[in-house]
Amino acid sequence: MKKCRVLELIGGSLTDGGAETLVKDYVMNLDKNRFVTAVFVDWTIAETANTKILTERGQLIYTAYPKYSLFWRGIDRYFRTTFMVRGIRKAIREFNPDVIHVHLNALQYLTMLGDELKGRKLFYTCHSTVEAMFGDNPVEAEAAKELIDKLGLRLVALHQKMADELNQFFNVSNTIVINNGIDISRFRNVKESRESIRLSLGIPEKAFVIGHVGRFSEVKNHNLIVEIFRKVKEKQENAFLLLVGDGELKAEIERKIKEAGLDSSSLILSNRTDIPRILKAMDVFLFPSKFEGLGIALVEAQAAGLRCVVSKKVPNSAYVSDLVIPIDLSESIDCWCGVVMDEQRRSTYINRLGEYDINTSVRKLEELYLGETR
């Protein structure tokens, strides 16, 4: 039987963000008896966890640029369109995909490929709010409209509310919902003890650990995380802050922590392949994002059994257990601090974690790629 050839195309690089992790999970979990996969990115960054995992497994990865460096970043600034279109065209000609699945901001380059796309199935997953991905980005919005009209691009949403918004924005009715899947067993079955994990990370055994996993960017609201932690530390001397991620604001947050005199009771980890293990070291997960497409890190934290204090800007589709306690961003630091410290606090949300099982999500994706889903 001829295998379906799938090109997962994501703007940027295989960092450890939610969209990038989803692409990694897709290509790792698609049925190898029915699918052959390739990934296209701007460039690879060898030290990121997702790059390490896929490289170790021998995954075919195409890039627009030879490597990630100051020189090529400079070239990208002025000649991005030229290199992206050329790189995508090369990947399509060499790999000859039956399916092209686009993630993040890359649709505009497909509109410049002409006949290269004919006869191929096109999909696009929206990984943030519709307003952020298209309302604030008219170039991508126009590219999506053109690809929908001319080549039958199919939109994929992370939850039903997003699907409704995409249908309305693009005047279509066939957006499909595929939940961001996770390997639930990885988060539930960490064999190592909390004590040994903390010891290996240099975290005091009896600390009250407030944790966060996410890219250091404005939307993740790390400034508020530090402020909440500062207040908790005033009330609970053994409080400890554990942040996991990388990104453009990392140095700024490190500086803010140091200036507040909190650096001896905090730890920042980047490019980790052992997130389930690290989550086990935490007592509470703090997730005060300014907005999210879904917030897959929140689903992972619930799978790990962590109480999660989150902003109401995070879609309630990610509230999949009574461990989630949502708070309005307009509430005071004292309010946030009180909920973080209340270890008995729970909500009344129903356990729906099974909806985010990676096996269910990938089977639905396979049906979509093979044309078995309407």
Q: What confidence score (pLDDT) does residue 115 get?
A: 86
Within the chain, residue ranges assigned H as helices are: 18-29, 49-56, 70-95, 107-110, 130, 138-151, 160-170, 184-188, 194-201, 222-235, 250-259, 275-280, 296-303, 333-341, 358-369
Residues whose CB is less than 8 angstroms from the CB of residue 323 and which lie 6 or more positions away in sequence, other chains included: 301, 302, 305, 306, 307, 308, 346, 347
Per-residue pLDDT of the chain (374 residues), as tens digits, is 799 999 999 988 888 888 899 999 999 999 999 999 999 999 988 888 899 999 999 999 999 999 888 999 999 999 999 999 999 999 999 999 999 999 988 999 999 998 899 999 999 999 999 999 999 999 999 999 999 999 999 999 999 999 999 999 999 999 999 998 898 999 999 999 999 999 999 999 999 999 999 999 999 999 999 999 999 999 999 999 999 999 899 999 999 999 999 999 999 999 898 999 999 999 999 999 999 988 899 999 999 999 999 999 999 999 999 999 999 999 999 999 999 999 999 999 999 999 999 999 999 999 999 986 55
For the domain spanning 184-354, the CATH number is 3.40.50.2000
Q: What is the DSSP letter of 182?
A: B
Q: What is the DSSP letter of 258?
A: H
44: amino acid identity, one letter = T
Q: What confidence score (pLDDT) does residue 145 get?
A: 97
Q: Same topology for domains 4-181+357-369 and 184-354, yes or no? A: yes
Overall residue count recorded for the chain in this entry: 374
| Structural domain spans, the chain | 4-181+357-369, 184-354
Superfamily of domain 4-181+357-369: Glycogen Phosphorylase B; (3.40.50.2000)
Distances in Å between the alpha carbon of 75 and those of 61, 79, 84, 99, 365?
Answer: 21, 6, 11, 29, 35
Q: What confidence score (pLDDT) does residue 83 get?
A: 95
- Token pair belonging to 189: 């079955």
39: amino acid identity, one letter = V
Q: What confidence score (pLDDT) does residue 373 get?
A: 55
